[in-house]
Chain A
């Protein structure tokens, strides 16, 4: 038993020595490639979690701002938007910010909607004509396409802690590249 263990150990040290110190030929190329790949992956994940990332928009609940449905263009190309994560530090949002948040009904899904009312504000919903106060730490989100949008009208105000980022620009398709606009609100909803 003992000599076999020693032989196995010697084999291991030999292979380890080869891979690390005597980088010869193709093994060195593979090792370098793996190192660069892992480094690139780490940096991408960190930047995408903390600073800025690009997200694909699915569905038409934010048209015409995002994924506008026009009869001429087929619905084959979704918008890609730039999402910045600096706002998660201080959680200071303003009216009209388009945000990405985890759905309160299913934590695995992410939705993109616009903030219509901030914490502590009195908000009048146009549907049932009643006025409610947005609790502290929550906000009221609505999609721009009021007809088909699953938003605070169905699940109520969402805690700000669910927000994962703020959408600033559209980066694809090329003819729609530009910053997101705050729509002029003709119907004044906050009292």
Chain B
């Protein structure tokens, strides 16, 4: 008789545990989908996007729908997987879409302005601070498939909340 009651208790506990696990799994799946397909927070630091973004660190929200639908445009702030190190992400501004002719100026290589044509399926990205930014002027246009998301809102620091400027 005792064995039967133990088994009944055990079944109750197992059922409760499985219910809780199911809820946790569903929550993590929702988190993953929101993070990958809708919106995710990104921590950005470094001098390459001054004065738009601060040097010591900003937290911004990046949305992933625009790049999936192909709606990323000239002048957008995008988070891109670095072509020289796939484990790092960099944030730059798009200065040329495929087929555009880009005129750029690299202070480190003298005063001449150079011209480049962006091939099919690629974009030209540049940091706002052209004096301290490693971007397409150095590693060339990057494939569109490396774009991870478009920055649309800044949440930290609190006195700069809002859309990052042009």
A residues contacting B by CB (< 8 A) are 39, 42-43, 45-46, 49-50, 90-91, 101-108, 135-138, 158-163
Contacts and interface: CB of A to CB of B under 8 A. Distances in A.
Given A137-B84, A159-B146, 12 more contacts: A43-B25, A46-B32, A49-B32, A91-B86, A91-B87, A101-B145, A105-B119, A107-B145, A108-B70, A159-B142, A162-B143, A162-B145
Interface centre among A42, A50, A103, A138 (most CB of B within 10 A): A42
A46 B146 contact: no
B82 A137 contact: yes
Interface residues on B, range: 20 to 34
Interface of B: 22, 25-26, 28-30, 32-33, 36, 70, 81-87, 119-122, 142-147
Contacts of B83: 137-138, 159, 161
Given A107-B143, A137-B86, A161 B29 contact: no
A159 B87 contact: no
17 contacts: A42-B29, A42-B30, A43-B25, A43-B29, A46-B33, A91-B87, A101-B145, A105-B119, A105-B120, A105-B143, A106-B120, A136-B85, A138-B83, A159-B146, A161-B81, A161-B146, A162-B143
Contacts of A90: 87
A106 B85 contact: no
A39 B33 CA distance: 12
Contacts of B26: 39, 42-43
B6 to A, nearest CB: 31
Contact of A104 (B81, B85, B145): B145
Nearest to A104: B143
Given A102-B145, A104-B143, A105-B121, A159 B81 contact: yes
B141 to A, nearest CB: 10
